[in-house]
Structure formats: structure tokens, C-alpha cells
Amino acid sequence: MSSPTILLPVDGSEHSVRATTYAIKMAQLMLARLLLLYCHRPFPVQLGEPYFQNAIDTIMAKSQTLITPFREMLSEKGVTFEDLIMEGPAGQKICEIAQIENCEMIIMGSRGRSDLKGLFLGSVAHRVLQQAACPVLIVR
């Protein structure tokens, strides 16, 4: 039997850092692997070459920069993990990846980089709670 998988979507926010700390503890308790996920904005398809490739390179470099501290946190704690960088709306991609990877659960921050004052949950967290096929743990 393979080890359980926990999906950990991150966006670079402090909420993501707290969720990562909690996910590490859960992964250690469950002997689970973590699937670290970052979703970037769509590539600007209306650009021609070489601008299109420059835009892709810039987005991917920013994505790598954002996800690196999370990789380091997981490595330091000796947690088994893989990472994915996906293009598209985070709420949709998180649910799709959780289903494709047959995740036991999703652990994520309550609000991300697009905080709006007065909202209890961010729109991504809200969408994942509504649409995910597995349990979702929201960390504040």
C-alpha cells in the first residue's frame, strides 16, 4: 500500500507558511507524502514571439522563486514531497490535482495574496471547500 498524499497549495503568503508548518506535522503523523502546488496566472497567449517566450520565462522564474522557500521548509524537516507548478485558476487546479492524485486531504491557508478586508475566507479557499472531493483543512 502506498503512503497517503496530502495536497499543500501555496501562494507565498504568511497563511501559506502557517499551512506548510501544519502540513509537515500532519505528514509526519500520517507517514504521508506532501504534494506542494503553486498555481500561476495564465500565460499571455496574445503576445507574439519573442515576447511570449519572455513572458513565460518571467512567470516561471517568479514561480520558482515563490515555491523555493516552501521546498526548503519541507526538505529541512525530512518530509517526502513532490512539487508542481500549474497554470490557471488556483481554486479549480487545486481540486483537479487533488482528485487526479487521489489525495487524502488538502491543507491550505485561509487567505492568500489577494486578501480583501472583511472576508472570513479567501475566494480560493472558499472554492476549494465547496468543490474538493476530499477533506480540506484550512489553517489561519
Report which of residues 63 and 46 the model is more confident about: 63
Q: What is the pLDDT of residue 53?
A: 86
Report the chain's terminal Cα–Cα distance, integer Å. Answer: 33
Query: Domain locations in the chain?
Result: 5-139
Q: What is the pLDDT of residue 119?
A: 46
pLDDT band with cut points at 50, 70 and 90 for residue 1: low
Concatenating the DSSP letter of every residue in 96-124 gives HHHHHTT-SEEEEESS-TT--TT-SS-HH
Beta carbons of 10 and 67 less than 8 angstroms apart: yes
Taking each helix axis as running N to C, give the angle between helix 90-100 and helix 123-131, from 0 to 180 degrees, rounded to the nearest 10: 30
Tell me the pTM. Answer: 0.90
Kindly report the CATH number that applies to the domain delimited by 5-139: 3.40.50.620
pLDDT of residue 117 exceeding 90, the answer is no
What does the buried/exposed string (b/e) look like for 61-94 if buried means 16 or more CB atoms within 10 Å of the residue's CB? eebeebbeebeebbeebebebebeebeeebbebb
- Read off the pLDDT of residues 68-94 as tens digits, 9 standing for 90 and up: 999 999 999 999 999 999 999 999 999
